[in-house]
Structure 1
Amino acid sequence: MKNMNVKKCHFPLTSEVEDSWADVLKKSMYPYLRKWIRFPSHLPLKLNQWCNAPRHKLINPTPFLRCREFMWQEGHGAFATKKEAYVDLLKVLEMYRRLYEELLAVPVLLGRKSENEKQVGGLYSTSAQVFIPETGHGVEGASAHCLGQTYAKTFNILFEDKNGEKAMVWQTSWDLNTTAIGLMLMIHGDDKGLVLPPGVAPVQVVVIPEICQGVDAKRIYDACEDIALILERSSFCVEVEKRRNIPLSTRHTLWERKGVPLRIQIGPAELDNNTAVLVRRDDGCKKSVSRDSLADDVHAILEDIQGSLFKKAKTKRDSCVEEVEDWAQFLKALKKRRLVLAPWCDEEGVEMDIKRRSDGLAKHFGTPFSQPPMSLGTLCFASGKLAKSWSYWTWTSC
């Protein structure tokens, strides 16, 4: 966000806007935009706020994915032209893509939301969508909206253009919340517990001393502290397991459950041979390395873990994509909880009819920016009308 010249802010909530959370930030922020924006030199104006958001009427909450209160990031932009707003929106989506794919190692689908799914009052909405192969659900990871001039009219946000005439600004909004954490946990977790990508793991490496009877425990603990110090100097987040009242096997299990990407085991043999045993969390592979090159080996393994997690998740998601051409194929694929790719006429009425005919099970999952080739005369899978684009569909979101 710093590279995009987005300014940090925090707007207080009045008792009036707290009653309706849907437009809470707009109602508290936009009156100030009217005061701050006067001339073209004041544009573009981009603001970002982190805050807690409530969903008091939510039934059956799910940790991280659907909570009654969650941490929410929402950015807002004001621009002189529609084109500037569009270009900035693409930059925001790219930022969200990089966050998911490069840090969380979660593959996303970038696309445009349908007219029924777009933000109320806006021109169009885009999103970064995440598909969960294990459940067949699609979840919105982040969204970015072109609000057009709707709120500029409502809040009278004007500036003086180059001709000296009053003009309305073009606005955008974009948001992300703690759902991102839940999606990361669902995509990478296994039966042993969490699997955290090194890019976001609070502890990247844990050093575990392996003490047995008849050995000098102090030498092993000192060696573990030395290793931790070396790795910390190389900017790794390291922790040493110092608890002596826990069995060795339990220590391994506890750190596996926490999802720490890399475990370093130091015992008498490693101490005598000046080596260390490195154990990966993602695949359980063990490797003995020299302690002289430990920092380089740890760096290489953590990079490989980050890349492997993303590659595995993307391969698994792509294997769930099923291309269909008609309604019968669509229903069959949907009931198998597949990520369905179908030609669509992109009409609001047809989308509502799809939901009705599927008993509410089907949900539009975005029209991807990267479109597969479409033959001339291809028909919509649901209506038989001429198709305009390929769109993704999933089982109703969790």
Structure 2
Amino acid sequence: MFEIFFEDDKGERSLVWQNSWAFTTRVIGVMVMIHGDDKGLVLPPKVATVQVVIIPVPYKNVDFNQMLDACNEVSQKLESAGLRVKQDTRDNYPPGWKYSDWELKGVPLRIEIGPKDIENKQVRMVRRDNFEKEDVPLEKVAQRAADLLDEIQANLFKKAKEVRDLCIKKVFTWEDFIEALNDKKMVLAPWCDDVEVEEDVKARTKGDTGAAKTLCMPFEQPDLPDGTVCFASGKPAKRWALWGRSY
């Protein structure tokens, strides 16, 4: 679509920046596949609609209204710190069922509040990424929740990057390139930056392995020693390129 305009923050009529290669749906799919586990979604805190869910854990003969007041107090502290919070006060499900329900939905951090927590002026925090638990004093609840969300975000990124890095193999020759493709790897190889050579690579790999093509030229380029040649053509290499199968 062309000639799409919007009014910017200066009140001026501006053209939109757009693409049409299903970037949004692909990113969502990759996020679900990379971070999810057998219990369901695992959402990075920065994109989670609900970052923290608060669940009361009532016992028999306990004043439930007192527990709701405690949940409200914690919720207000977290919201004042800019966190996105949800209280699950449904009375037709037990706490254990709620835990599983919110784990399935991928909420990054769960806060449990029971009678002993109220008595000890604390809450229990449970991370979705590794299920680590800790008891946190009430006066520190907002700061600790924010810190944990940062830790979860960093941990998910670190784990995803490690998985990504394990899927990349660095090669210099055509034989090693084919072997890496057969191992279902992305391949980092020196390239002459010639479109005709890329088309030749596609043609030569189409039969046995599924056509391979350039995925990107990494911004952070490894050192390219003098005299390095293109893995596919033997011409002088100009840069490193990441290659992979086209599915």
TM range (shorter): 0.7 to 0.9
The Cα shift of 1:47 comes to 2.7
Tell me the distance in 1 between the aligned counterparts of 2:51 and 2:151.
13
Tell me the distance in 2 between the aligned counterparts of 1:218 and 1:336.
59
**Letter of the 1:201 counterpart:** A
Tell me the distance in 2 between the aligned counterparts of 1:353 and 1:187.
32
- Give the number of aligned pairs: 237
**Letter of the 1:235 counterpart:** G
The Cα shift of 1:372 comes to 1.1
Tell me the distance in 2 between the aligned counterparts of 1:375 and 1:230.
56
**Letter of the 2:211 counterpart:** L
Give the 5 Å matches for 1:148-167. none
Residue in 2 that maps onto 1:113: none
The one of 353, 359, 379 equivalent to 2:229 is 379
**Letter of the 2:16 counterpart:** N
The one of 389, 392, 395 equivalent to 2:239 is 389
Please list the CA deviations of residues 124-168 of structure 1 after superposition, one character each: whole Å capped at 9, or x if unmatched. Answer: xxxxxxxxxxxxxxxx89xxxxxxxxxxxxxxxxxxxxxxxxxxx
Residue in 1 that maps onto 2:9: none
The Cα shift of 1:74 comes to 4.5
Give the 5 Å matches for 1:1-398. 24-25=1-2, 28=3, 47-48=15-16, 73-74=18-19, 177-359=24-206, 360-397=210-247
Tell me the distance in 2 between the aligned counterparts of 1:377 and 1:323.
17
Tell me the distance in 1 between the aligned counterparts of 2:137 and 2:183.
49
* % identical equivalent positions: 45
Tell me the distance in 1 between the aligned counterparts of 2:211 and 2:126.
42
**Letter of the 1:224 counterpart:** C
Q: TM-score, normalised by structure 1?
A: 0.56
The Cα shift of 1:338 comes to 1.4
Tell me the distance in 1 between the aligned counterparts of 2:14 and 2:154.
33
More strand by share: 1
1:266–1:277 Cα contact (<8 Å) kept = yes
The Cα shift of 1:388 comes to 1.8
**Letter of the 1:394 counterpart:** G
**Letter of the 1:286 counterpart:** K
Residue in 2 that maps onto 1:36: none
The Cα shift of 1:346 comes to 1.7
Tell me the distance in 1 between the aligned counterparts of 2:135 and 2:219.
45
Tell me the distance in 2 between the aligned counterparts of 1:350 and 1:324.
17
The DSSP-based 3-state class of the residue aligned with 2:16 is strand
The DSSP-based 3-state class of the residue aligned with 2:134 is strand
Tell me the distance in 1 between the aligned counterparts of 2:149 and 2:49.
13
The DSSP-based 3-state class of the residue aligned with 1:368 is coil
Tell me the distance in 2 between the aligned counterparts of 1:385 and 1:258.
52
**Letter of the 2:184 counterpart:** R
Tell me the distance in 2 between the aligned counterparts of 1:347 and 1:323.
20
Unaligned regions of 5+ residues in structure 2, if any? 6-12
Tell me the distance in 1 between the aligned counterparts of 2:14 and 2:242.
31
The DSSP-based 3-state class of the residue aligned with 2:200 is helix
Residue in 2 that maps onto 1:87: none
Q: TM-score, normalised by structure 2?
A: 0.88
Tell me the distance in 1 between the aligned counterparts of 2:191 and 2:218.
12
CA RMSD of aligned residues (A): 2.2
The Cα shift of 1:46 comes to 5.9
Tell me the distance in 1 between the aligned counterparts of 2:215 and 2:136.
46
**Letter of the 2:217 counterpart:** T
Unaligned regions of 5+ residues in structure 1, if any? 1-23, 33-44, 50-72, 76-139, 142-175
Tell me the distance in 1 between the aligned counterparts of 2:65 and 2:59.
12
The Cα shift of 1:217 comes to 2.1
The DSSP-based 3-state class of the residue aligned with 1:260 is coil
